[in-house]
């Protein structure tokens, strides 16, 4: 049965996505139509008689590809939040064709030639920036390669995708294949919910006792709370040797050693084809950091500053273990256990106690209040077709100067969907995604306002004595909500009219976390927190002394945690800048550890073999980005600390300046320029050290 385009909701671009009407059956037809239109637009734009004009290309090609990405975005979104076997099948059936189109578009030398012919003198500043980034992306996608080199480049991309998938599967299977049956006496000290889950897992297999796995919800609590050292050692050894040459014999088929070598060799070859000395140089082309040496210097400087604090963290654990736990020579499998005991002894509060004060509606009200105050906007409930009744939809408006004729006094800035509760068929974690970008449309001259998705996975409210209670958030949940909203504000408060550099588009990879990490800071401000807490029973705000204990525990072992991040980041950068692919990666990791680590793992531990961020994610020669963006966000937030009111409340003037220089500018200029426009100077590492208790 064929559906006409006016009945297929994925082909309706008149307003917001029709999430309540999209069915799996709509996907193949819509993708067929939109891919055909996008391909036709590509052929039309690259024809020899087509004028190499920015607006003409935009009105033809960008309009067609934007429709494709919006429709595919709606399908991908539903696949993430409302997964069903039918939708998954429809998604996977179209995934190949959609991916192939974008890959081919990126390397099309005819289109690249048109872009090079565009007269940039006729473009405005935003268009020039978008044009500059477009040319760079063509080069990185292999558009300048010819003949043998071009086909080899395409083959490398395909093989790398296969190897990343193999790496992931080995890591997953090595985790899934392990199990260990423990007796009830082995499990002393382990939290009740873990005891119940592991007993149920044993029972499901017809076994007595507790069936343990290497999955985080089982592994981590046992390492932190389990009193049986032998059990901790057994689990640690299995976890630390996953997917490696050191694993048990029956896992030999999952060794990632050869996969790592081949991935590194292919990356080196890809870099050479594109004219770079190594993959680290290639990876940094679209990032803020200018060279591998700059990143390595940054990491070594931070390591040196964090080291005394990390050494103190370890000494405190050694003393505590000796005096209170009768542990005189702690091993790798003892440290998480010692740290947890020490933290409890020192700060004496529980996550459960804190949670009762953070009801979801009150937290949201407090978040909206700070956004409205700082950025001069209003957030109001709004209407839209939704995929689930738990989803809420809002609009952000900006007040206009009152008009004499009684015309509208507010303008629409952006809108967002907020999907907070966890449920079956919804991917774990939290994320922000764009539905559409702000764009002065080249086809009709109208301004398209931005729309965002903000997705979390929080607990739902419980029913107590027949009464529905509001959902309770942990303080970590509150931080997560503020983080995702930071990304959302970057996307929605932009004032840029050129789609490819508006909002989060065109922002460097190592700067994109600035607005999100920035918002997290407000979760530690008493002046903000007291307005967003109300005890679920009494309605009382969070007591000041409980907040002070939370604040004291905020920096617990931040020295150690910082060095661990630096160890991963430095290993990643040196691996892609100096390491010969055929050599053993463990020798390099040992060299890094000798330089920066204060706790040495056993010689048989194999961290790289499950380091999915760099071997199966987008972080190769980019893992440093987390720390890099933390420096930017901490220094940006320091501007608010310097101008805060007597009661600690943030300055509205500073908020407006942050809005104008960073959020509004989006990707329309390099991130460093936006940062300097806000701070009046380059970023400084001091604020980060202070925020992490290492000043």
Q: Sorting pLDDT into bands at 50, 70 and 90, what band is 597?
A: very high
Of 307-321, 472-486, 563-577, the least confident:
472-486
Residue 4 has pLDDT above 60, yes or no: no
Distance of CA 334 to the CA centre of its chain: 30
pTM of the model: 0.84
pLDDT at res. 495 = 97
Q: Sorting pLDDT into bands at 50, 70 and 90, what band is 338?
A: very high
HEC readout, 562-624: HHHHHHHHHHHHHHHHCCCCCCCHHHHHHHHHHHHCCCCCCCCCCHHHHCHHHHCCCCCCCCC
pLDDT at res. 403 = 59
pLDDT at res. 192 = 79
Tens of pLDDT, residue by residue over 29-85, are: 999 999 999 999 999 999 999 999 999 999 999 999 999 999 999 999 998 899 888
Q: Where are the alpha helices (DSSP H) in 327-474?
A: 335-347, 351-355, 360-375
pLDDT at res. 2 = 47
Residue 451 has pLDDT above 50, yes or no: yes
Q: Sorting pLDDT into bands at 50, 70 and 90, what band is 228?
A: very high
pLDDT at res. 154 = 82
Q: Sorting pLDDT into bands at 50, 70 and 90, what band is 331?
A: very high
Q: Give 76's contacts (C-beta < 8 A, 6+ positions apart).
A: 91
Distance of CA 20 to the CA centre of its chain: 27
Residue 96 has pLDDT above 60, yes or no: yes
Q: Where in the chain is the domain with CATH 1.20.1050?
A: 9-122
Residue 674 has pLDDT above 50, yes or no: yes
Q: In the predicted model, what is the mean pLDDT of residues 196-220?
A: 90
Q: In the predicted model, what is the mean pLDDT of residues 460-479?
A: 83
Q: In the predicted model, what is the mean pLDDT of residues 146-156?
A: 89
Average pLDDT of every residue of the chain: 93
Q: In the predicted model, what is the mean pLDDT of residues 654-660?
A: 97
Q: Sorting pLDDT into bands at 50, 70 and 90, what band is 558?
A: very high
Residue 168 has pLDDT above 90, yes or no: no
Of 99-108, 109-118, 377-386, 630-639, the least confident:
99-108
Q: Rounded to an integer, what distance in angstroms lies between the CA atom of residue 505 and that of residue 512?
A: 9
Nearest in space to 127 (alpha carbons), one of 499, 593, 527, 437: 499
- Pairing relation of β-strands 447-448 and 439-440? antiparallel
pLDDT at res. 423 = 79
> Do 22 and 9 touch, CB atoms closer than 8 A?
yes
| CATH node for 9-122 | 1.20.1050
Q: In the predicted model, what is the mean pLDDT of residues 555-575?
A: 96
The beta-carbon contacts of 242-247 under 8 Å, at least 24 apart in sequence, are: 242/171, 242/174, 242/175, 242/178, 242/214, 242/606, 242/609, 242/610, 243/170, 243/171, 243/174, 243/606, 243/609, 243/610, 244/606, 244/609, 245/606, 246/604, 246/605, 246/606, 247/174
Among 484, 498, 520, 630, the one annotated catalytic = 484
Q: Indicate the class that CATH gives domain 355-553.
A: mainly alpha
> Do 387 and 80 touch, CB atoms closer than 8 A?
no
Q: Give 297's contacts (C-beta < 8 A, 6+ positions apart).
A: none
Residue 392 CB neighbours (<10 A): 16
525 is catalytic: no
* Residue whose token pair is 């193999």: 166
Q: In the predicted model, what is the mean pLDDT of residues 525-541?
A: 92
The upper half-sphere exposure of residue 632, i.e. CA atoms within 13 Å in the direction of its Cβ, equals: 28
Residue 255 has pLDDT above 90, yes or no: yes
pLDDT at res. 462 = 67
Q: What letters, b where the CB count within 10 A reaches 16 and e where it falls short, cover 107-146?
A: bbeebbebbeebeeeebeebbbbbbebbeebbeebbbbbe
Helix (H) or strand (E) holding 413: strand 410-421
Q: Rounded to an integer, what distance in angstroms lies between the CA atom of residue 500 and that of residue 492?
A: 14
Q: Rounded to an integer, what distance in angstroms lies between the CA atom of residue 359 and that of residue 657?
A: 31
* DSSP-based three-state secondary structure for 472: strand
pLDDT at res. 405 = 66
- Pairing relation of β-strands 180-182 and 210-212? antiparallel
Percent of the chain with pLDDT over 70: 97
> Do 626 and 513 touch, CB atoms closer than 8 A?
yes
Q: In the predicted model, what is the mean pLDDT of residues 203-219?
A: 90
Tens of pLDDT, residue by residue over 393-441, are: 999 999 987 656 666 689 999 999 999 988 777 777 788 999 999 999 9
Percent of the chain with pLDDT over 90: 76
Of 3-7, 31-35, 179-183, the least confident:
3-7
Q: Rounded to an integer, what distance in angstroms lies between the CA atom of residue 369 and that of residue 261?
A: 52
pLDDT at res. 1 = 39
Q: In the predicted model, what is the mean pLDDT of residues 596-613?
A: 94
């Amino acid at each position: 049965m064929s559906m006409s385009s006016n009945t297929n909701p994925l082909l309706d671009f008149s307003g917001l996505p029709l999430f309540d009407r999209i069915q799996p059956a709509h996907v193949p037809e819509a993708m067929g139509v939109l891919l055909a239109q996008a391909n036709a637009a590509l052929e039309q734009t690259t024809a020899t008689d087509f004028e190499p004009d920015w607006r003409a290309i935009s009105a033809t090609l960008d309009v067609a590809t934007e429709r494709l990405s919006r429709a595919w975005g709606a399908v991908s979104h539903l696949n993430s939040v409302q997964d069903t076997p039918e939708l998954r099948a429809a998604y996977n059936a179209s995934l190949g064709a959609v991916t192939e189109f974008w890959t081919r578009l990126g390397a099309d030398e005819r289109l690249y030639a048109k872009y090079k012919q565009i007269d940039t003198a006729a473009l405005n500043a935003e268009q020039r920036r978008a044009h500059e980034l477009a040319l760079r992306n063509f080069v990185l996608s292999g558009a300048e390669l010819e003949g043998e080199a071009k086909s080899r480049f395409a083959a490398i991309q395909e093989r790398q995708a296969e190897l990343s998938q193999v790496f992931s599967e080995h890591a997953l299977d090595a985790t899934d294949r392990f199990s260990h049956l423990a007796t009830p006496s082995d499990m002393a000290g382990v939290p009740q919910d873990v005891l119940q889950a592991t007993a149920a897992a044993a029972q499901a297999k017809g076994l007595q006792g507790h069936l343990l796995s290497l999955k985080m919800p089982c592994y981590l609590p046992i390492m932190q709370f389990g009193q049986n050292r032998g059990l901790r050692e057994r689990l640690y050894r299995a976890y630390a040797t996953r997917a490696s040459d050191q694993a048990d014999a029956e896992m030999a088929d999952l060794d990632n050693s050869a996969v790592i070598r081949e991935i590194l060799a292919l990356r080196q070859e890809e870099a050479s084809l594109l004219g770079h000395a190594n993959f680290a140089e290639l990876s940094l082309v679209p990032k803020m950091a200018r060279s591998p040496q700059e990143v390595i210097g940054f990491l070594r400087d931070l390591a040196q500053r964090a080291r005394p604090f990390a050494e103190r963290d370890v000494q405190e654990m050694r003393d505590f273990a000796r005096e209170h736990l009768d542990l005189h020579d702690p091993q790798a499998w003892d440290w998480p256990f010692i740290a947890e005991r020490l933290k409890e002894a020192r700060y004496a509060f529980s996550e459960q106690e804190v949670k009762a004060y953070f009801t979801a509606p009150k937290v949201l009200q407090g978040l909206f209040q700070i956004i409205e105050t700082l950025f001069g906007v209003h957030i109001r409930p709004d209407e839209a077709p939704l995929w689930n009744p738990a989803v809420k939809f809002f609009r952000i408006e900006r007040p206009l100067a009152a008009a004499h004729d009684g015309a509208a006094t507010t303008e629409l800035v952006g809108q967002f969907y907020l999907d907070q509760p966890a449920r079956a068929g919804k991917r774990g974690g939290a994320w922000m995604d764009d539905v559409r970008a702000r764009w002065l449309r080249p086809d009709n001259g109208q301004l398209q306002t931005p729309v965002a998705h903000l997705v979390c996975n929080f607990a739902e409210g419980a029913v107590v004595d027949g009464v529905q209670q509001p959902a309770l958030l942990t303080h970590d949940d509150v931080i997560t909500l503020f983080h995702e909203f930071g990304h959302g504000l970057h996307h929605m408060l932009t004032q840029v009219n050129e789609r490819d550099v508006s909002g989060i588009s065109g922002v460097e990879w190592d700067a994109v976390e600035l607005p999100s990490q920035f918002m997290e800071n407000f979760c530690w401000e008493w002046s903000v927190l007291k307005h967003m807490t109300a005890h679920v029973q009494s309605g009382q705000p969070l007591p000041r002394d409980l907040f002070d204990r939370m604040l004291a525990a905020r920096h617990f072992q931040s020295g150690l945690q910082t060095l661990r991040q630096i160890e991963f980041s430095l290993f990643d950068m040196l691996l892609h800048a100096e390491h010969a692919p055929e050599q053993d990666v463990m020798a390099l990791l040992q060299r890094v550890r000798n330089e920066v680590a204060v706790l040495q793992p056993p010689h048989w531990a194999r961290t790289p073999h499950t380091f999915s961020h760099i071997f199966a994610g987008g972080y190769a020669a980019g893992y440093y980005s987390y720390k890099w963006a933390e420096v930017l966000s901490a220094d940006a937030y320091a501007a608010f600390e310097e101008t805060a009111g007597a009661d600690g409340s943030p300055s509205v003037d500073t908020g407006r300046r942050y809005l104008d220089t960073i959020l509004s500018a989006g990707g329309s200029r390099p991130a460093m320029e936006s940062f300097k426009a806000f701070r009046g100077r380059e970023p400084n590492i001091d604020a980060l050290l202070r925020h992490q208790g290492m000043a």
